[in-house]
Amino acid sequence: MTQADYANSNIMGLTGTLLVRAVSGPLCDRFGPRYVFVGMLLAGAVPTAMAGLVTTPKGLIALRFFIGVLGGSFVPCQVWCTGFFDKNVVGTANALAGGWGNSGGGITYFVMPAIFDSLVHDRGLTPHVAWRVAFIVPFIIITAIALGLLFTAEDTPTGKWSERQQVLSTLIAQASTNPSRTPSLRGSDEKLPVDEKGDKHAPKLESQIPIANERDEARGEVIVAPTFKEGMSVVFSPQTWALAAPYGCSFGGELAINSIIGSYYLKNFPNLGQTGSGRWAAMFGLLNVVFRPLGGVVADIIYKYTKSIWAKKLWIVFCGVTMGCFELAIGLTNSHSEATMFGLVAGLAIFMDASNGANFAVVPHVHPFANGILSGIVGATGNLGGIIFAVIFRYNGKHYSRVIWIIGAISIGVNLAVSWIRPVPRGQIGGH
């Protein structure tokens, strides 16, 4: 394969994921995220098993497009997570799930070569055959997880996806007929007031939040199958793109840099060799295990003390701008000192991963009735950013440092450009 073939295969894989993420959002709102999740895993497992049949660069490029289906499973994962956790902890939940997903890229650098080596040294297969057989292992793992989700998991905390509206209607009816004995639809655990004799009693109806307001807010939190007009209003909402644009820089930058970081290390530090540079490159992805969840945790802590979605958004902007500064530092210095380079890349990974986690701590607050559509757009934009940056890498050959500082300048500009947009549309019901 030529350098151009390698770059084209990366671009095609990202394109496949982009298209699937964009489509999966509306499908989640219509059929529920669990079934969409299972379908994507099974659909992506088949081309993974067929990787061993590839014999030409063009065949690999085409296959990577279809394996890209697996990357789209991020969207139903986030929509599903959002449905199970309250807004004050959803950032942590989404970021933890997303961080483990991103870390798969790092784990692969260790696991797949180990499987390959085992097949060659322990099973006696030739290298030509061993790498093809190795892809059966991820096929088995992916299929097993998909079947586990299908047969053991629940659609929502209250049961089937198709019955989510019925459960809400039942709660509302109970609240309307006997408000003093029905828990608040907001899920708060308010203590009953105590009278002069020390006896607890139900609060008076006049002192409660009006049932109509609670009913509207509760319905605003439930995902519906939006009409085309409602879907377009989400697509063209400034709030949607205020989240999508930074994610295109953070996750898009991660995808593009992850695909060349091993080659970049090998170029600047030839003494590392292919294996050593690959292992150091793996660390870039593995840091997601800690720092993507940290981005969501910090967002939730900020929200706990400020009760402000604006504060959550400013955390995204801070992470995005700092990430861009590290990219500028890496690209402009192009260090040939291992300590300096690895330190700068670690700093980049911290804020890049945290930015990804912080982003999906805000997504559940915006357009909650169409969380699938919004998650799909934001997720797809991440891949779009990856494609754009991968194209820049393609046409700059091995000038990796130049492209990295270009990505840094773009990231800083984009994050500052959307920083003024209010995080939640005026008059929106739900999402708070």
pLDDT digits (tens, 9 = 90+) for 379-397: 999 999 999 998 898 888 8
**Which band of pLDDT confidence, cut at 50, 70 and 90, is reported for residue 429?**
low
Identify whether the C-beta of residue 361 lies closer than 8 Å to the C-beta of residue 292: no
- State the pLDDT at residue 177: 61
pTM over 0.75: yes
Q: Which of 283, 349, 341 is nearest to 322 (CA)?
A: 349
- State the pLDDT at residue 2: 82
- State the pLDDT at residue 217: 61
Q: Please check the confidence at residue 145 and state whether its pLDDT lies above 50.
A: yes
Q: Which of 362, 351, 119 is nearest to 251 (CA)?
A: 351
- State the pLDDT at residue 410: 96
Q: Which of 370, 377, 368, 432 is nearest to 240 (CA)?
A: 377
Measure the CA–CA gap between 269 and 353, rounded to whole angstroms: 25
**Which band of pLDDT confidence, cut at 50, 70 and 90, is reported for residue 272?**
confident
Q: Would you identify the CATH topology of the domain 3-159+224-417?
A: Growth Hormone; Chain: A; (1.20.1250)
- State the pLDDT at residue 150: 93
Measure the CA–CA gap between 319 and 323, rounded to whole angstroms: 6
Q: Which is more confident, 409 or 7?
A: 409
Q: Which two tokens stand for residue 393?
A: 């890498």
**Which band of pLDDT confidence, cut at 50, 70 and 90, is reported for residue 188?**
very low
Tell me the three state secondary structure of residue 237: coil
Report the range of poorest mean pLDDT among 47-61, 84-98, 171-185, 314-328: 171-185
pLDDT digits (tens, 9 = 90+) for 363-383: 999 988 888 899 999 999 999
Count how many Cα atoms sit within 13 Å of the Cα of residue 84 in the half-sphere of its side chain: 20
Q: Please check the confidence at residue 202 and state whether its pLDDT lies above 60.
A: no
- State the pLDDT at residue 284: 86
Q: Which two tokens stand for residue 272?
A: 């590392």
Q: Which of 387, 394, 389 is nearest to 15 (CA)?
A: 387
Residue type for position 161: W
Q: Please check the confidence at residue 432 and state whether its pLDDT lies above 70.
A: no
- State the pLDDT at residue 154: 92
Q: Which is more confident, 426 or 300?
A: 300
Residue reference for tokens 């007031």: 193
Report the first-to-last Cα separation within the chain, whole angstroms: 51
Q: Please check the confidence at residue 77 and state whether its pLDDT lies above 90.
A: yes
Helix (H) / strand (E) element for 432: namely none
Average pLDDT over residues 70-89: 90
- State the pLDDT at residue 203: 44
Q: Which of 44, 73, 12, 42 is nearest to 379 (CA)?
A: 73
Average pLDDT over residues 232-250: 93
Phi, psi of 312 (to 5 degrees): -60, -45
Average pLDDT over residues 324-352: 95
Measure the CA–CA gap between 183 and 181, rounded to whole angstroms: 7
